[in-house]
Amino acid sequence: MPRGKFLKILGALHEANVEFIVVGGVAAVLNGAPLAAYDLEVLHSRHPSNLARLLPVLERFGPLDLLGTIGRNLSYEDLLPHSVEMDIGEGIRIRVLDLETLIAVKEELGGEKDRAVLPTLRRTLEEKKKLR
């Protein structure tokens, strides 16, 4: 099976040692929420050395949904303790925003699209807790 586009981009970010956290819809999917995520949103460290590692990936794949902050001005450093490391195959390990924080961010944002997915995210969190 060919490597998917999201896997290719995440693999390139991982290989380039970019410090990033997957947020948004793909984070929801990776956390187990059965939603369709069309865009890959990535929160990155704004440290100059990280931006230098990020640039070649951008040149290779074109513009990505890169975010310096999310929610109420939360940065990579703020959210690092609220992320989990996940193995997404082919030796690629990435950091993903945890489901509790993803829900909190979407509750804060309160947009129509954010509110629409909240019931699925909340029920996914409940079901996930039952498995622990």
Residues that bind another protein (CB under 8 A): 1, 4-7, 26, 29-30, 32-34, 36-38, 86-89, 96, 119-120, 123-124, 127-128, 131
Closest to 32 measured CA to CA, from 132, 121, 129, 130: 121
Calculate the dihedral angle through the C-alpha atoms of 28, 43, 61, 30, rounding to the nearest 10 degrees.
Answer: -20
Q: Which is nearer to another protein, 17 or 120 (CB)?
A: 120
Smallest separation (angstroms) from another protein to the CB of 128: 6
Report the residue number, 59 or 87, with the smaller CB distance to another protein. 87
CB of 11 to another protein, least distance (A): 11
Which distant-in-sequence residues (6+ apart) come within 8 Å of 101 by Cβ?
79, 82, 83
